[in-house]
Structure 1
């Protein structure tokens, strides 16, 4: 049974949203965005920003409650993590798109249609823009999702879009799904269309989709070798609450904490060797070819390609009190918290020790080596394809992994202070400081050490990464990009003329 919640802006404008109580706060944000016809950043209670991954009921809300909603920044940047370009949503509701010729092809957004855009979603070479009226427009490579003409009449009432490497799947407010793009990558869901009802969330691997319904059932389609065929575990896929994916396999966590996997067996699709250990699992992380499951007791179970982190036996005894796991292409990094209590003559002394445990390919981030002693009080870990960067609570940054991919920050270490957020392409890092400066380091071909770039990366409000490039928006409206020019790098554009004044 759906609840009715009131979503209110700071201006006082409000809208009613009908949504099941077991939906996520993120789903509430998306529906409120459609009702208010404004791009929204977050949902708040009377005292705090609500966790987007929490369910509405778990967040303490009740039927009939009012929540606050915060509008998104002036300009929003979007990219596919393995994509060939970027999209920028402007305050006037239009979209700027740039990158490799493959990214755009001969396609551009129709100027008459690209208005009131709330969000943008990308395959590797195509763009889908969600408008305030719930419709979707597309551009880019026609075969990879840039041409949605065959389903145009169905793209109504859309609340969210997911993308594989070359296909889109759009979730409608009524729980049905519309697909387009490369059929081999999930662009054709005709064989399961009658099953795609009451869908709550859609997940993706490289070339397949998995949809979870309100009852916890799972429907899959796309490349069978990438998890598009789940028939072998169909009877086990019940009461599913979350799904993770490597490039070619899925792992589903049930409400009881069991894990069901399918897809390419070498990339995590076969968990039979550790199945008895996969109990009481809270969440699952994925590298390119392996999975790591965090259990409720803080221990970790791994499976998949050993060279990509599927074998953690070498650090098994240290994987206790694990709170989160970050994965690069070939390695994992787990943050741990452990408490020790010592008896003394004056009583009991309790000490809390935090740290980071790594495993996987030692040359690609699986061995933190000399950096291990510095990995304390870590609050964020980011990764390129083959290196990690950890942000500590004191604003300092610690790096390890392939030096060519950001594992060596010695040239900028003195500037890595008061860092608030880390970002990463597959080859370079960017650190946003409290003073608005961005510090860059990584692959020699990305131009991170360009003095002119460092002069431009000031008063930054947000950063975004594609496969081999990064982009940042300054407070004056200027867009600065760097990295591989064929992936959207090396382009500076003045967007200030399109920045609208704040209504508040």
Structure 2
């Protein structure tokens, strides 16, 4: 006998569905995503978060109402040694001691940010705490007294920047990576936007002026542009370069030439720009006429960008120098570095399927379809080969993907040293009862239903194995 389940989102809108009680929670989530478009993080009832692999009749326990939480799963790509995950309403951080691991769960966290070897968190009272390697931002004592009413955190590889509610910006961590902002401190007032590369920060003030500092090779020095950055509407950053979109629709770029800091070859085409999208080493500008202009680390054959109106784009994901976009109708288009974004072998299937989510490594893409199918394309050594069914969640490191199936098992593929190969002694622990998969830069962590964790990835940065219930 079918169940009539009413599911509301956080804004109060309700969707009612007839469902088979023998189906899994994951199958209900897929049906809801077809109706609500946005990805669903989870379903919550008065009993708490529903486990995705559980049967509906068991998970609901007689309840016929639930709330869906939208959003993408947490990732902390910049961290190499640790991973942060939410467990029981608190944040748990596991990994190497002295690099960000915590012995106890951290409660009352509203936002978390990571460098390569440290974390910083905003608490519910607006204060900030930092931990991990002091050289990478794990010690904020020098500015702790000023870290009040903080509303946003940003990070480079080795430093943090905190934006307060009244527009003041404070930094700490590795000086070379932007942790020392004393030379520009007088200009770090009335800030309204902060972006970061691997080694530099850039701030847009309410006046439209831009202030930069940090590693000059990754955007910390704007003098090479020969222009004063004023009347800037929005800032954009990838791993090593920055782009400023001006009020007149023109673009100014600086930073690593390889990453797109030099846009002279396409400068004449960068007019009437409405938006910019970022890959790790490339930019793509969408013009008012629908044309997309791409520049950066584009070597060898390049797949030309289609003409797309900005209002038709639901989401854009970048790899190293390739791009993939989900359109509002659920279709997908790609452009950029040919070996990263060639999905020609999937065109027939994708033309009849709805794309739910996109994920990327530093050279490949993973497409999660509305019916739970998963398809990959791009560089095979970085996760570009793979096809699975009944997938409920995907996570990505810089070189590998991991997929959680509806039966609670996990499959990983891609670069062996970035989590693409599960050690044989851990295979059994990943065959069932996994509820969530989280990624750091070079490793994966799977959460099991009994609270234990399974970790695998780069052996230099990750202690592979099973961790008792945290």
TM bin (shorter chain)? 0.7 to 0.9
- SS of the aligned residue for 1:329 comes to coil
Question: For 1:368 and 1:425, how far apart are their aligned partners in 2?
Answer: 20
Pairing of 1:33-432 with structure 2 (within 5 A): 44-47=10-13, 79-81=76-78, 83-91=80-88, 93=90, 95-99=92-96, 103-104=99-100, 116-231=108-223, 232=225, 235-241=228-234, 243-255=235-247, 257-307=249-299, 312=302, 314-316=303-305, 318-320=306-308, 323=313, 324-335=315-326, 354-360=331-337, 362=339, 365-376=340-351, 377-409=354-386, 413=387, 416-432=388-404
**Per-residue deviation, residues 424-481 of structure 1 (Å, max 9, x unmatched):** 1112112234555443222345333748436436454443211211123344433232
Q: Decide which moves more: 446-455 or 486-495.
A: 446-455
| Maintained 8 Å contact 1:383/1:424 | yes
Q: Which runs of 5+ in 1 are unaligned?
A: 1-42, 53-69, 338-351, 497-504
The aligned residue for residue 45 of structure 2 is: none
Q: Shift in Å at residue 47 of structure 1? A: 2.8
- How far 1:396 moved relative to its partner? 1.6
Q: Helix, strand or coil for the counterpart of 1:488?
A: coil
Where 1:235 maps in the other structure, the secondary structure is: coil
Conserved? CA contact 1:125–1:140, under 8 Å: yes
1:442 aligned residue (410, 414, 436): 414
Mapped partners of 1:206, 1:396: distance in 2? 34
CA distance in 1, matches of 2:86, 2:423: 28
Aligned residues: 405
Asked if structure 1 preserves the Cα contact closer than 8 Å seen for 2:393 and 2:436, the reply is no
Deviates more, 1:480-489 or 1:218-227: 480-489
Distance 1:71 1:51 in 2: 11
TM-score between the two structures when normalised by the length of structure 1: 0.70
CA contact (8 A) 1:87 1:96 kept: yes
Closer, same or farther: CA 240–450 of 1 in aligned 2, 3 Å: farther
Q: CA deviation at 1:400?
A: 1.9
Q: Deviation at 1:269?
A: 1.5
- Structure 2 stretches lacking a partner, 5+ long: 1-8, 15-35, 40-66
> C-alpha displacement at 1:136, in angstroms?
2.1
Residues 62-97 of structure 1: CA deviation (Å, up to 9, x unaligned): xxxxxxxx9989xx9652346332134554756434
CA distance, structure 2, for counterparts of residue 451 and residue 256 of structure 1 = 59
Q: SS of the residue aligned with 1:103?
A: coil
CA distance in 2, matches of 1:71, 1:494: 30
Q: 1:285 aligns to what SS in structure 2? A: strand
**What is the match of residue 63 of structure 2?**
none
